[in-house]
């Protein structure tokens, strides 16, 4: 698939979500994108592995609740063993390091950060790398990439920045290329003690499985802190690798994602459909 097609995929997701009660047919969604039904069907299946009709089924509140229920026993094991991978979907094993309190205060002094903009199945991202691992992964969306870059530089004010498209491309391919053998990824987290606890807990959610904000709060020993958990997830600066998109409300409502609710829905369905045994890129209903 051409990763550049994601903008049209997200536009379709937004339209399908906004008109879910009307159950829009293929012709209506395709017309909204100014594509023929045949072209849109092929485009959508190339990206998700499922038809737009089946995708719509994943966007219902009832389906989201079911995904949470189906995930519970798997999460019990994952949280009990404390393992963060490898994900069945991506064969990633993520190892974590957090900056020290002194490094937190120094705002990245003596740290060299290489950055670049890369295409992914979920749109363009800004990826930032250090010798100790990925320290940033954010999606540019409709905004200028310079906005995300300025946020990154503000987060690590005293670091030395340089652009490195080749290293960024190699890392992005390792993260998003799918099944091609076990791949180790290191990440460098910068946050408060509470944020680090939340992000580390979320790393234990396997690909294709999901948790509620309340479940994460319970796992870090702060039952009743669902709102604080949501705030911490919203402050995550390493998107996708720290899979905050796998956390949503017990009610089944999917919202509250730093890089857009439609992108969050795309990630959830993409992973859930793969877990259900649907192969990406194949024309299956």
CATH of the domain at 233: 1.10.10.10
Q: What is the mean pLDDT of residues 121-140?
A: 95
Taken in order 136, 174, 263, 204, the sign of the CA dihedral is negative
Domain range enclosing 10: 3-59+263-275
pLDDT, residue 89, reads 58
Contact status, residue 80 vs residue 128, Cβ threshold 8 Å? no
pTM given for the model? 0.89
For the chain, the average pLDDT equals: 87
Q: Based on the fold, state whether residues 107 and 218 are members of the same structural domain.
A: yes
pLDDT, residue 87, reads 55
- Bridge partners, 112 (sequence order): 160
Confidence band of 181 (pLDDT split at 50, 70, 90): low
Residue 133 has pLDDT above 70, yes or no: yes
Higher per-residue pLDDT: 65 or 5: 65
What residue has token string 């003596």? 110
What residue has token string 């030395």? 160
β strands within the chain, DSSP E: 92-98, 112-120, 123-130, 133-139, 160-163, 183-189, 211-212, 247-248
Integer Cα distance of 246 and 269 in angstroms: 10
Residues forming the active site: 244
Residue 84 has pLDDT above 70, yes or no: no
Q: What are phi and psi of 251, to 5 degrees?
A: -70, -15
Q: Based on the fold, state whether residues 233 and 126 are members of the same structural domain.
A: yes
Does a structural domain hold residue 283? no
pLDDT, residue 221, reads 96
pLDDT tens per residue, range 145-165: 889 999 999 999 999 999 999
Q: Based on the fold, state whether residues 214 and 164 are members of the same structural domain.
A: yes
pLDDT tens per residue, range 86-96: 455 566 788 89
Does a structural domain hold residue 22? yes
Q: Give the Cα-Cα-Cα angle 66, 263, 159 (nearest 5 degrees).
A: 125
């Amino acid at each position: 698939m051409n990763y550049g097609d994601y903008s049209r995929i997200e536009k379709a997701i937004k339209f399908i979500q906004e008109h879910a009660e009307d159950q829009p047919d293929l012709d209506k969604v395709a017309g909204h994108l100014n594509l023929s039904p045949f072209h849109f069907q092929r485009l959508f299946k190339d990206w998700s592995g499922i038809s737009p009709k089946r995708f719509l089924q994943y966007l219902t509140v009832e389906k989201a609740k079911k995904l949470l229920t189906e995930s519970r026993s798997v999460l019990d094991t994952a949280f009990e063993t404390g393992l963060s991978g490898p994900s069945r979907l991506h064969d990633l094993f993520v190892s974590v390091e957090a900056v020290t309190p002194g490094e937190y205060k120094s705002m990245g002094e003596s740290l060299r950060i290489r950055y670049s903009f890369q295409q992914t199945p979920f749109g363009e991202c800004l990826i930032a790398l250090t010798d100790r691992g990925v320290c940033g992964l954010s999606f540019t969306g409709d905004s200028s990439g310079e906005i995300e870059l300025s946020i990154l530089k503000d987060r690590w004010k005293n670091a030395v920045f340089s652009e490195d498209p080749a290293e960024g491309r190699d890392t992005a391919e390792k993260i998003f290329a799918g099944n091609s053998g076990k791949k180790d990824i290191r990440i460098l987290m910068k946050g408060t003690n509470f944020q680090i606890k939340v992000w580390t807990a979320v790393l234990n959610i396997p690909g294709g499985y999901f948790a509620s904000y309340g479940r994460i709060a319970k796992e870090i020993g702060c039952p009743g802190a669902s709102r604080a958990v949501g705030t911490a997830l919203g402050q995550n600066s390493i998107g996708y690798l720290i899979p905050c998109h796998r956390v949503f409300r017990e009610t089944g409502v999917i919202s509250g994602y730093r890089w857009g609710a439609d992108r969050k829905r795309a990630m959830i369905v993409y992973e859930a459909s793969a877990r259900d045994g649907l192969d990406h890129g194949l024309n299956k209903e």
